[in-house]
Amino acid sequence: MTATPSREDCAARDRRDPLARFRDAFVLPDGVIYLDGNSLGALPASAAARIHEAVTRDWGQGLIRSWNAAGWIDLPAKLGAKIAPLIGAAPDEVIVADSTSVNLFKLLVAALRLRPERRVILMEARDFPTNLYIGQGVAALMGDGYTCRIVPGEEIDAALDKSVAVLALTHVNFKTGAVHDMARLTQHAHEVGALTIWDLCHTVGAMPVDLTGARADFALGCTYKYLNGGPGAPAFVYVPKHMQATFHQPLTGWMGHADPFSFVDDYAPAAGIKRALSGTPGVLSMVALDAALDVWADVDLGVLRNKSVALGDLFIALVEARCAGHGFALASPRDGTRRGSQVSFQHAQGYAIMQALIARGVIGDFRAPDIVRFGFAPLYTRYVDVWQAAEVLFDIMETRAWDTPQFKARAAVT
Ligand SMILES: *Cc1c(COP(=O)(O)O)cnc(C)c1O
């Protein structure tokens, strides 16, 4: 067995890292190793000034004129076009609006309408809860024999039959980081006549993905994780060109109308991706996201992916070497090509261990019932950070620092 890397080895890798310069594009607090960019991305250094300008100049001075003069009305499409190259889409196939939950509702209903003779939404057990809840809500709303069929990951292929209208999956699982083969599953769905919806919440900004190449029918994702758009930043929707004319989503608000400012009584959908919109965009959130997306303009996603896999491999090697015998079981794929940009371990005392880590400045998160989760945002996570996090974890286990009542009391958000 090769020796595990030393801190100096890790520092040397940071010096050679082609992405190292991007760390300066973020505000990172001193004394913190932030391994939770998969839940809430770090603050882009340019965001505060951009928001300040939007508030004081565009809102304070420009007032209503800023919808035109500051381009507020164009933000949903402009930001969609900036996300498009990160997911293998054309600029006019992506738009920013609402939340992931709301957009999933729109996409599910639109997909069911395209397969009116079918009654099944197929989803994966242990997907992110909101996805399953929205799937169940849509089936209940549609009534008339509609069901949301939820099966374990290994049974998806067997469950894909001609009753399935839409297969709605998350590409990278939020708990384990396991990656689905999007192209293969999309092809299988198409073979039985089903449509696909791909959730890219833990994909976009973490690894490249090719929606066009995979022939995905629909996709969506959030922007506050690896894209660093800020807390509660709006989500995005992907509808490819050839699906846009027959795409009819149910939240037919005025922003998705063909001519919103004609103020006519009857709804008529906009011609292209804009028909995915519903109401007025949250401008200040979009301004923050705009600043965050500028960082991505010259990121090579292949280089990003290589670093992401290397960071995860390093963390697994260090934790398994240093914390052997302390009860951690790897809950993520060992094979980096099958793993998103996170590493999870199961541990019976996971909650208290994560609280002890956070108290020492190593911020990851806990996902019930027993998962400690560490996300690696390749634009700002360094190899030395991974090394240090494993060291602190080792110390916490050796000293049983987690074993106090203070770290066992559950907060509202874990
Ligand atoms: C983070 C995440 C969400 C979040 O949905 P919101 O509507 O923004 O709360 C949904 N689905 C998946 C798979 C996620 O990872």
What type of residue sits at position 54? A
Annotate 11-20 with b (16+ C-beta within 10 A) or e (fewer).
eebeeebebb
Q: Specify the 3-state DSSP secondary structure of 97.
A: strand
Ligand 1 neighbour 99 (Cβ under 6 A): yes
Are 201 and 221 in contact by the 8 Å Cβ rule? The answer is yes
Q: Which atom of ligand 1 is nearest to the CA of 100?
A: 7
Q: Which atom of ligand 1 is nearest to the CA of 170?
A: 13
* Residue with CA nearest ligand 1 atom 1: 201
Are 51 and 58 in contact by the 8 Å Cβ rule? The answer is no
Return per-residue pLDDT of the chain as tens, 414 residues.
Answer: 468 999 999 999 999 999 999 999 999 999 999 999 999 999 999 999 999 999 999 999 999 999 999 999 999 999 999 999 999 999 999 999 999 999 999 999 999 999 999 999 999 999 999 999 999 999 999 999 999 999 999 999 999 999 999 999 999 999 999 999 999 999 999 999 999 999 999 999 999 999 999 999 999 999 999 999 999 999 999 999 999 999 999 999 999 999 999 999 999 999 999 999 999 999 999 999 999 999 999 999 999 999 999 999 999 999 999 999 999 999 999 999 999 999 999 999 999 999 999 999 999 999 999 999 999 999 999 999 999 999 999 999 999 999 999 999 988 888
Q: Give the Å distance between the CA of 246 and the centre of ligand 1.
A: 26
Ligand 1 neighbour 128 (Cβ under 6 A): yes
Residues 6+ apart with CB under 8 A from 366: 350, 351, 354, 355, 372, 373, 414
Domain ranges of the chain: 7-30+300-408, 49-298
| Domain 7-30+300-408 part of CATH 3.40.30.10 | no
Q: Specify the 3-state DSSP secondary structure of 371.
A: strand
Q: Which atom of ligand 1 is nearest to the CA of 127?
A: 13
Rounded CA separation 135/127 (Å): 11
Determine the CATH number of domain 49-298. 3.40.640.10
Look-up: residue for tokens 């549609």? 142
- Residues noted as catalytic: 128, 199, 224-225, 373
Look-up: residue for tokens 């602190």? 392
Residues 6+ apart with CB under 8 A from 1: none
* Residue with CA nearest ligand 1 atom 3: 100
Q: Give the Å distance between the CA of 131 and the centre of ligand 1.
A: 7
Q: 199: closest CA among 113, 123, 274?
A: 123
Q: Give the Å distance between the CA of 69 and the centre of ligand 1.
A: 33
- Give 298's DSSP letter: G
Q: Give the Å distance between the CA of 68 and the centre of ligand 1.
A: 31
Single pTM value for the model = 0.97
pLDDT for 385:
98
Residue 123: other Cβ atoms inside 10 A: 24
